[in-house]
Structure 1
Amino acid sequence: MTTPDRTSVLLLRLAGPLQSWGDRSAFNRRETRPEPTKSGVVGLLAAAAGRPRHAALDDLAGLGLGIRIDQPGSILRDYHTVSDYRGQPLLSAAVNAKRQQKPTSPAKHTHITQRFYLQDAVFLAAVEGPEGLITTLEHAVRHPVFPLALGRRSCPPTQPLSLGQRTGSLEDALRAEPWQATPTVRKRWGGQHGNATHIDLPATLEDPAGNEVRDDVPVSFAPGGRTFTTRRTRHTYLQAPTGLTPDPARHQNTGGHDPFALLGW
């Protein structure tokens, strides 16, 4: 049973071959931020809930958001050239009195576009809000009405996407959840660090007193009328459990002098 004043946290594992979290674009260039935007996460939740693009977003935009970077991935640039197979000049965005597109002037026969993606990245998103709304959103993510995407429709998420609800604060939930990196990355890191039990991971948390302002809070997703407002965030590091088994050999006393013994390393 839920109560109106009780809050809950929904954890989402945002992982996939490609992700793209743009907060600005210019004609033929679509960039991505190094971590998910609030507009992207709200868009995913709205799609899961079956909300049309013109639907109100006040309740979703008002949710708290924290992002933990479990695996940063790397940037991929997708470079395209576009031309008319008949050899004719490309059309411009301008139209004439008959609402027909005008040809480019001066004539342009090749158009270059660039799209940027994050490849092999894994993020842990914590969404905090009223328990009733969070419960509804968790069910929606597990049974989405519209296809879900990681910032762009061509970027579907891998499973599991929803890790369920947690009690306590948003930051506590991000600290307690085990590291979500891929098995290959975790195994390689464990070999270098003796399967240490905890790892420090960068995170971005919403904070009214934060020192960074981001213009990525959606007001409307309506076609032709997409609008956004700002929020404040702060950056930090969170120590999270790795889920790895410690290597006893790294802590075994061999009889020699160990300068790190007093530090418990």
Structure 2
Amino acid sequence: MSTLLFRLAAPMQSWGISSKFDRRTTQMEPTRSGVIGMIVAAMGLSREASLDVFKPLKFGVRIDQPGTIKKDFQMAHRQKGSKSNTWVTYRYYLEDAVFLAGLEGSSEVLAELASSMTHPVYPLALGRRSCPPAGKLYLGIREAGLVTALRQEAWQASPWYQRKARRQHISFLEIVRDAEPNENGYAVRDFPESFSQKRRLYHFRNVVREQVSLSQILGHENTENEQGISMEHDPMALLEDDDVSIKSQNQ
């Protein structure tokens, strides 16, 4: 089996599971439904499209840079006839988080998904439309299973966090992944059956949490230049190769 890898990094992310009504919470790591939804957007599929192609895929994430929870509020307004109601709604986000996400499956299916991620039909977001990804998103396909890929891929954290982690003697990263049939885990309801606005449906999946030594990861790690991945957030990076970029207009 092969594994498709993504680097999920942005100033703000939000991965909800049980958000309802006026309080929209976030998990501390990306959800299966959120990542699958991002790929569906890249493929240009409608909300009514079948998700059968994703069902056999195994999913997991490695928490390379834990985020901090931030709360925002918005004013909601409803007009009904001559009466008007206004109330406060709350939104929760992860700030400055970086994750390594992987999907394990057949090489043919993963190649199709990878092609869509590098040429997305719709703009991509990390959980919510207001959270576009920063830097390189698609890392490539590794000829290894999910667990091996998550344990061997280079540390994706920002340079400033890597320095902080070394000062604080952080020696392990956490992996959250689909449990094997013989493993005991806990249930998370983020396995998407349908994204239809008429009938959204999510099932439970069994999840396990484990740790991987940073020394093991660094032993397999390529340098940042070899990977060609920018670890810093540059909001103008996507415009640098555009003929109508702001930079060219100002020159």
**TM-score range, shorter-chain basis?**
0.7 to 0.9
Q: Deviations over 1:178-213 (max 9, x none)?
A: 1111111112323455xx9xx410111101333201
Pair 1:82–1:51, CA change in 2 (3 A): closer
Residue equivalent to 1:262: none
Q: Identity of aligned pairs, percent?
A: 42
Whole-angstrom CA distance in 2 between matches of 1:64 and 1:102 = 50
Counterpart for residue 248 of structure 1: none
Alpha-carbon distance, 1:224 to partner: 2.2
Q: What is the match of residue 10 of structure 1?
A: 4
- Does the alignment pair 1:22 with 2:16? yes
Query: Which aligned pairs between 1:68-217 and structure 2 lie closer than 5 A?
Result: 68-82=62-76, 90-91=78-79, 101=80, 109-193=85-169, 199-207=171-179, 208=181, 209-217=183-191
In the aligned structure 2, how far is the partner of 1:129 from the partner of 1:224? 30
Give the counterpart of 2:31 among 27, 37, 44: 37
Q: Which of the pair is proportionally richer in helix? A: 2
Alignment of 1:211-230 (within 5 A): 211-230=185-204
Q: 1:59–1:210: structure 2 CA closer, same or farther, 3 Å change rule? A: farther
What TM-score, normalized to structure 1?
Answer: 0.76
Shift of 1:244: 9.8
Which deviates the most, 234-243 or 22-31? 234-243
Structure 2: 5+ residue runs without aligned partners? Answer: 224-251
TM-score, normalising length: structure 2: 0.80
Q: How many residues align?
A: 217
CA distance in 2, matches of 1:130, 1:244: 25
The reply to whether residue 234 of structure 1 matches residue 208 of structure 2 is yes
1:118-153 deviation line (CA, Å, top 9, x unaligned): 010000001101110101111111111111110111
Tell me by how many angstroms 1:61 deviates.
3.1
Determine if contact 1:42/1:61 at 8 Å carries over to the other structure: no
Change (3 A) 1:174 1:19: same
CA drift of 1:110 comes to 3.0
Please tell me whether Structure 1 or Structure 2 has the larger radius of gyration of its CA atoms: 1
Please provide the CA RMSD for this pair.
2.1
Q: CA deviation at 1:109?
A: 4.2
| Contact residue 190 and residue 244 of structure 1 kept, 8 A | no
In structure 1, C-alpha distance between the alignment counterparts of 2:146 and 2:2, rounded to whole Å: 8
Residue 245 of structure 2: aligned partner = none
